[in-house]
Amino acid sequence: MATPVSVWRWRKPWPRYCTHNCASRCTTESCTRTSARSRRCTTRRDQRRGRMSRRRALKQGQSFTAQAVRIPATESRMSRPAILALACALALASLGAHAATPIQLDAAQQQALAIRSGAPEAAREILLTQLPALVTPAAGNAEAVTAPYAGVVTWIGAYEGDSVRQGQVLARVQSREAMLLASELTTAQSAAAAANAQAARDASLHQEGIIAAARVEQSRAAASAANARLRELRAAQALAPKSVLRPGEYELRAPFAGRVLTREVELGQAIDSLGMAFSIGRAGPVGLEIQIPESYRALLRPGLVVQLPDGTRGQVLSVGAAIDARTQSLKLRATAAGPKLMPGQRLGVDLALPAPAQTWKVPATAVTRSQSGATLYRLTAQGFVPVPVTVLDQTESALYVQARLPAQARIALSGALVLAGLAGGE
């Protein structure tokens, strides 16, 4: 029997691992101390040893102190946005720590940075511009013309904007109530005449001693009641003068000379008793209803000057006693004389308010604003010093601010943003 022949096969030797105690068990061929991979292995080894030391200390109930491990720049996990956020936080902290430190700049540096200094202008008044206003008839200069009796409009003689004279017929109304009033007036006249005649006869008979005094008193009372009824009907007829064209038709007339502001009736329209038909306004000053932010309520008072877009000046008559919940504004009532102003017109007006103490008018480039408030920079012997201010109002090119500054103070009129950056960079 033939003896089997053994066949020798080559086998790949087992890899020899490095002695760095790496968590990934890298081999010696792939891990050398001079390569980047070796440095990563060393770092992982140190991290693994640190974790093992902490676990061992926790098991034994001992306190431990975390050891700092150097992480190479190639393995840093801090992103660029995080680095920027950290830099901003450090800048804000530096700004808060050095906000009160004077900023020293010589004349050449100020000129190079476009920083111009000067004295602020003391403000005597604050001009609020383009306040919304509504033109209304002045108090006592307008009156409503109403229909005393229900009926149908048969004729209209005046329209909006027409000038009318006192007593001019504005419209005619056909009314059943007016027709009944005429018949009642005729009956009342007859009853009053009969009652007066009876009272005169009874008085004559009483003087002759034929009737008693009680009967005379009854006759006089009846005559007095009849006369009162007649006066009442005549006054009712005076409210609706009778038209000569048709029976039961009365006229609506202008109470004074003026202009028709509104017309509420149309030809053939049915109108209710005491319904409004026209409104008439006298020629002269008009009223203004001005809305102003409630933050200025401490500075408001009657007598303030109001300026209209055409240069016409008016005067504030009263200040509202309640704040509008929707717009958070106060209502001012003013009067002004202007031939081009018409009730219902909306326009923007300017109002001059008295400025409180320590109010200054400065350019818009002299103030910086942030979440903590507004700031300007005062020039002292030590340099520019930040001064907190309260902004009261602003226009296109200037600000009205309230700040504690001496009379001869000098501030940075321009370049406030540059000074704010320098204050934050110190």
Same domain, 385 and 333: no
Q: Tell me, yes or no, whether 1 lies in a domain.
A: no
Same domain, 173 and 219: yes
Which pLDDT does position 90 carry in this prediction?
46
Q: Tell me, yes or no, whether 83 lies in a domain.
A: no
Residue 213 is which amino acid?
A: A
pLDDT digits (tens, 9 = 90+) for 315-362: 999 998 888 888 888 899 999 887 778 888 899 999 988 888 888 889
DSSP characters over 68-129: P----GGG----HHHHHHHHHHHHHHHHHHSTTS-B---HHHHHHTT-EEEPPEEPSEEEEE
pLDDT digits (tens, 9 = 90+) for 211-232: 888 888 998 999 999 999 888 8
Domain count, the chain: 4
Q: What is the mean pLDDT of residues 120-128?
A: 86
Single residue among 281, 313, 335 that ends a domain in this structure: 281
Closest CA to 288 of 328, 345, 340, 326: 345
Distance between CA atoms of residues 156 and 34, nearest Å: 110
Same domain, 372 and 343: no
Output the domain CATH number for residue 411: 2.40.420.20
Same domain, 214 and 303: no
pLDDT digits (tens, 9 = 90+) for 77-103: 445 555 555 444 444 444 444 445 888
Closest CA to 239 of 145, 174, 154: 145
Closest CA to 410 of 386, 377, 365, 382: 377
Same domain, 388 and 323: no
Same domain, 265 and 198: yes
Q: Tell me, yes or no, whether 383 lies in a domain.
A: yes
Which pLDDT does position 77 carry in this prediction?
47
Distance between CA atoms of residues 405 and 37, nearest Å: 66
| Cβ pair 267, 153 in contact under 8 A | yes
Same domain, 238 and 331: no
Same domain, 318 and 404: no
Q: Give me the sign of the Cα torsion angle 76, 80, 85, 86.
A: positive
Distance between CA atoms of residues 220 and 202, nearest Å: 9
Closest CA to 420 of 373, 361, 363, 380: 373
pLDDT digits (tens, 9 = 90+) for 229-238: 888 888 877 7
How, if at all, do strands 368-370 and 373-379 pair? antiparallel
Q: Strand, coil or helix: what is 321?
A: coil
Output the domain CATH number for residue 293: 2.40.30.170
Residue 324's beta-bridge partner residues?
Answer: none
Output the domain CATH number for residue 225: 2.40.50.100
Angle at 304 between CA 299 and CA 309, to 5 degrees: 115
Angle at 223 between CA 221 and CA 225, to 5 degrees: 70
Same domain, 362 and 332: no
Owner of token pair 């006249």: 189
Which pLDDT does position 54 carry in this prediction?
66
Which pLDDT does position 33 carry in this prediction?
46
For the question of whether the overall pTM of this predicted structure is more than 0.75, the answer is no
H or E segment at 271? strand 270-271
Residue 372 is which amino acid?
A: S
Q: Tell me, yes or no, whether 72 lies in a domain.
A: no
Q: Give me the sign of the Cα torsion angle 306, 312, 318, 323.
A: negative
Domain span at residue 229 reads: 142-281
Same domain, 244 and 344: no
**Alpha helical stretches, state H, 5-97:** 36-60, 80-97
Closest CA to 176 of 146, 151, 155, 153: 151
Distance between CA atoms of residues 423 and 419, nearest Å: 6
Token duo for residue 212: 């008693």
Q: Which residue has the higher pLDDT, 192 or 27?
A: 192
Single residue among 257, 281, 305 that ends a domain in this structure: 281
Q: Tell me, yes or no, whether 9 lies in a domain.
A: no
Q: Tell me, yes or no, whether 79 lies in a domain.
A: no
Same domain, 135 and 195: no
Distance between CA atoms of residues 53 and 64, nearest Å: 9
Residue 90 is which amino acid?
A: L
Which pLDDT does position 165 carry in this prediction?
92
Phi/psi at 71 (nearest 5 deg)?
A: -110, 120
Q: What is the mean pLDDT of the chain?
A: 79
Single residue among 281, 298, 330 that ends a domain in this structure: 281
Q: Tell me, yes or no, whether 112 lies in a domain.
A: yes
Same domain, 201 and 265: yes
Closest CA to 233 of 143, 149, 145: 149
Half-sphere exposure of 45 (CA within 13 A, CB side): 13
Q: Tell me, yes or no, whether 71 lies in a domain.
A: no
